[in-house]
Amino acid sequence: MSTPRLRQARALSALCLLALAPRCATTSPGTGGSGFDAGDTALDAARRQEADDVAAQVAALASDVRDAGARLDFTFWAEQGALTLTGYQSSERGGRPGRAADTHVLRRAVAQALLSATRARSGEVALTLRRKSTTWVVEPTPAFHAARPTGARGTPGRARFSPGPTAAIAERLHRLLAPVRVPDGGTVWADVTVHLRDGQVTGEALEGWRVLPSSPDGKPRPVSPRVAVEAAHLVDLYAPARGPRSLHLGLRVTHPRGEPAASGWVEESRVDFPTLPDLEDGVSLR
């Protein structure tokens, strides 16, 4: 038989349960009852898509690099999953050619490396690719603190990789390099500037070229279209940033004796932020 004190305790317990019940049944808006914020889920999906898009462009640039020992160094600004390319250089090029590497394997490795490096915080992310005889080794560096660069994007969602505009830029760059002539067995350095604005190429210029010392005085050879293709892939990576800027590319072009055209690569790059004139007929890379 219940005592008055026991009945009072049961009544107080019931009131506490009624007071707590709405809080236990209520979830934050947008969670769908899962306990996870839908906004966070959408951001994670956008981060994964951004990393995959960048990885596809990196793999496209690296796909024609077969010289064993080659090294490609990329620097990105990472912010909320958005990746803005701020620096690139290549070294140890021109070595013994290896066999074709699996581009799909490289793309997955780069995407995973970028996701891991950008998960923690905003900052600069360094990504190094080293070419072995049959494959690539991917070496990411976690994001580290640096000043936010001009033109950096703060929201993921760059354009999906499209070979159409890249092919158009490659054709324009190959025409631009038409005056360059490489001595048979010699080497030439060429400086190219590409003007960019919000995902568009608004102009390009051949700033100059020179035959490097110790090059033989042989028959002049034209530049292979493959040099322009590599440069176009790099332009495609740089394009998704905010505002006008000038991308400077340093190309090393070498003629192997017995070949009809000179081969080469982009060895270094630099970005400046001048005031550019409005130009029509820009080729969109977005």
Q: Where are the beta strands (DSSP E) in 165-273?
A: 182-183, 187-197, 200-211, 220-221, 244-254, 263-272
Tell me if 257 is assigned to some domain. yes
Please, how many CA atoms are within 13 Å of residue 215, restricted to the half-sphere of its CB?
A: 24
Average pLDDT score over residue span 4-23: 39
Q: What is the pTM of this model?
A: 0.80
Alpha-carbon span 173 to 10, nearest angstrom: 83
The answer on pLDDT for 241 being more than 50 is yes
Tell me if 6 is assigned to some domain. no
pLDDT score recorded for residue 199: 85
DSSP state of 222: P
Tell me if 23 is assigned to some domain. no
Out of 115, 146, 177, pick the residue that ends a domain.
146
Residues 182 and 270 both lie in one domain: yes
Query: Mind listing the pLDDT tens digit for each residue in 39-85?
Result: 568 878 888 999 999 999 999 999 999 999 999 999 999 998 899 99
Residues 113 and 166 both lie in one domain: no
Residue written as tokens 């994670």?
44
The answer on pLDDT for 37 being more than 90 is no
200 CB contacts (<8 Å, ≥6 apart)?
239, 282, 283, 284, 285, 286
The answer on pLDDT for 203 being more than 80 is yes
Residues 226 and 116 both lie in one domain: no
Residues 270 and 169 both lie in one domain: yes
Tell me if 105 is assigned to some domain. yes
In angstroms, the first-to-last Cα distance of the chain is: 79
Q: In the chain, what are the helix, strand and coil shares in percent, each to the nearest 5?
A: 30, 30, 35
Tell me if 151 is assigned to some domain. no
Residues 205 and 236 both lie in one domain: yes
Tell me if 285 is assigned to some domain. yes
Residues 214 and 263 both lie in one domain: yes
Range of the domain at 264: 162-286
Tell me if 283 is assigned to some domain. yes
DSSP state of 31: S
* 261 vs 275, higher pLDDT: 261
Residues 142 and 47 both lie in one domain: yes
Residues 167 and 243 both lie in one domain: yes
Residues 118 and 200 both lie in one domain: no
Out of 146, 180, 213, pick the residue that ends a domain.
146
Reading the block at residue 213, the tokens are 């010392």
Query: Mind listing the pLDDT tens digit for each residue in 74-91?
Result: 999 999 889 999 999 999
Query: Mind listing the pLDDT tens digit for each residue in 123-136?
Result: 899 999 999 999 99
Q: Which of 104, 112, 111 is nearest to 53 (CA)?
A: 111
* Number of independent structural domains in the chain: 2
Tell me if 22 is assigned to some domain. no
Residues 175 and 274 both lie in one domain: yes
Query: Mind listing the pLDDT tens digit for each residue in 105-117?
Result: 999 999 999 988 7
Out of 113, 146, 179, pick the residue that ends a domain.
146
The CA–CA distances, whole Å, from 48 to 39, 82, 110, 125, 226 equal: 14, 10, 12, 16, 30
Residues 129 and 183 both lie in one domain: no
What mean pLDDT, rounded, does the chain reach? Answer: 82
pLDDT score recorded for residue 263: 95
Residues 270 and 197 both lie in one domain: yes
Reading the block at residue 248, the tokens are 């400077």
pLDDT score recorded for residue 113: 92
> What does the buried/exposed string (b/e) look like for 199-210 if buried means 16 or more CB atoms within 10 Å of the residue's CB?
bbbbbbebeebe
